Structure 1
Amino acid sequence: MNREETISKLKTIVKPYVKNQPALDNLTEETDFINDLKINSANLVDIVLDVEETFDIVIDNESMEKMLNVKAAVEIIERKRSEK
């Protein structure tokens, strides 16, 4: 799976939690989940669980705390997948 495919899947995962649709439509690696997409912190936990299920990975607490934007999330997903 390449980076674009990972971002596409991530976009699908976060879509139900997004409060700022135009920011989702213009999603980039620099898009911040809380500030740009207006996702609340409780929903970030749901997103992490969805990411774990979708990509068949386990995200530890330290990595979870770093998943604040698309780029960080993709890097964590790619790293966890390569560790399998």
Structure 2
Amino acid sequence: MLSRAEIFEKLKEILLFADAKNSDLIKNCDESTKLVTDLGFNSVSVLYMVIAIEESFGIVFDNVSMNDFDTIGDVVTYIEAKLK
């Protein structure tokens, strides 16, 4: 089982791949970083992120929307719960 810190680091790698234009922001983010207001994610960015997370972690998101994840920490918490 991955630790929360390991999930966070792997998620940062996914975010860098999904949104390379914000690489400096993503490299310096923490769990309180907001996906929309801090990183400028939109619904398409979130969709790419979800697909990449599903493939990387081997999980399936259950009918989630962009509004379900305000911060990177929210995404880490969701992944952590799905991996249990």
TM bucket, shorter chain:
0.7 to 0.9
Report the TM-score when normalising by structure 2: 0.84
Matches of 2:32 and 2:7, distance apart in 1: 15
Is the 2:33–2:72 contact (alpha carbons within 8 Å) kept by the matching residues of 1?
yes
CA RMSD of aligned residues (A): 1.8
Unaligned stretches of 5+ residues in structure 2: none
User: Paired residues, what number?
Assistant: 82
Please point out which of 22, 27, 30 is paired with 1:28. 30
Report the TM-score when normalising by structure 1: 0.84
**Equivalence for 1:59:** 61
Larger RCO of the pair (alpha carbons < 8 Å, separation 6+): 2
Unaligned stretches of 5+ residues in structure 1: none
**Equivalence for 2:7:** 6
Paired-residue identity, %: 35
